[in-house]
Structure 1
Amino acid sequence: MAELITTVIMFIIALVISAVIIYVVTRVMGETEDIKTALIAALAGTIIYAVVYFLIGQGLIAAIIGGIVWLIALRYLYKIGWIKSLIIAIIIWILSAIVGWFLPTLMGPV
């Protein structure tokens, strides 16, 4: 039971950290949506990658497919084009990796 509670807490922390990163990056890139949209984007990314990894397994192909689907989600949530969603996603991935070195978060994508 303690492991489940720890996992849930770590998931929530990772989700909040991801949402803050998404919020900051999208604001810097000129988007005006609020933190709720960033939280939805973080949750969508987590679900997308979990489903893709479950169906395909881990690896480069799964990461590419998950990334493309997450770009579609970003485009839909922020009403932006492909190029802007790709730039935002790359910045988010880089910042998430950097933050992951310093803060204890769950292993895996966004």
Structure 2
Amino acid sequence: MVGFLNFVIGFVVSLLIGAFGIYVGARVIADRDDYEYAILTALVGAVVWWLVAGLFSLLPIVGGVIGSVLGLLAWIYVINARYPGGWGSAIGISLVAYVTVWVVLVLLETVGIIASGALGVPGL
């Protein structure tokens, strides 16, 4: 039971950190101020990234690289579908989300609160 509880807590904290990055990106780039919307975007984006990256990583030899790139593009597609402004804004939101989540994770890891990693922002 403790293992499952740790998983649930880790999942929720990771999702909230990833959603915070998307929220900041959307606030800066698309002038959208809705954290609940960012949480749903992070959750959908994480699932889509996981499915795409996982499926393409099954390809022999270069599957992992192709899967990672296509997974990232799929994640940006989710952001593009959920926020106004087109692909340029989606890429901007994604970049701000990456930087924001990286800063939060470095700060939390520095004070010993959490190990790095965030659901909803691929690769972090």
TM range (shorter): 0.7 to 0.9
Give the TM-score, by structure 2 length.
0.75
Structure 2 Cα separation of the partners of residues 80 and 67 of structure 1? 19
Q: Pick the structure with more helix per residue.
A: 1
Provide the residue aligned with 1:72 in structure 2.
77
| Percent identity of paired positions between Structure 1 and Structure 2 | 27
User: Rg bigger for which structure?
Assistant: 2
Distance 1:80 1:29, change over 3 A: same
Matched, 1:11 2:11: yes
Give the gaps of 5 or more residues in structure 2. Answer: 58-62, 109-113
Q: CA RMSD in A?
A: 2.1
**Matched residues, number:** 110
Structure 2 Cα separation of the partners of residues 107 and 35 of structure 1? 19
Shift of 1:40: 1.1
Give the gaps of 5 or more residues in structure 1. Answer: none
CA displacement, residues 8-42 of structure 1 (integer Å, 9 cap, x when unaligned):
10110011111122112211224225112101111
CA displacement, residues 32-72 of structure 1 (integer Å, 9 cap, x when unaligned):
25112101111012112221233223833222111111111
Give the TM-score, by structure 1 length.
0.83
Distance 1:49 1:93, change over 3 A: same
Q: Counterpart of 1:32 in 2: which secondary structure?
A: coil
Runs of 4+ in 1 over 6 A off after TM superposition: none
Structure 2 Cα separation of the partners of residues 108 and 27 of structure 1? 19
Matched, 1:102 2:107: yes
Matched, 1:84 2:93: no
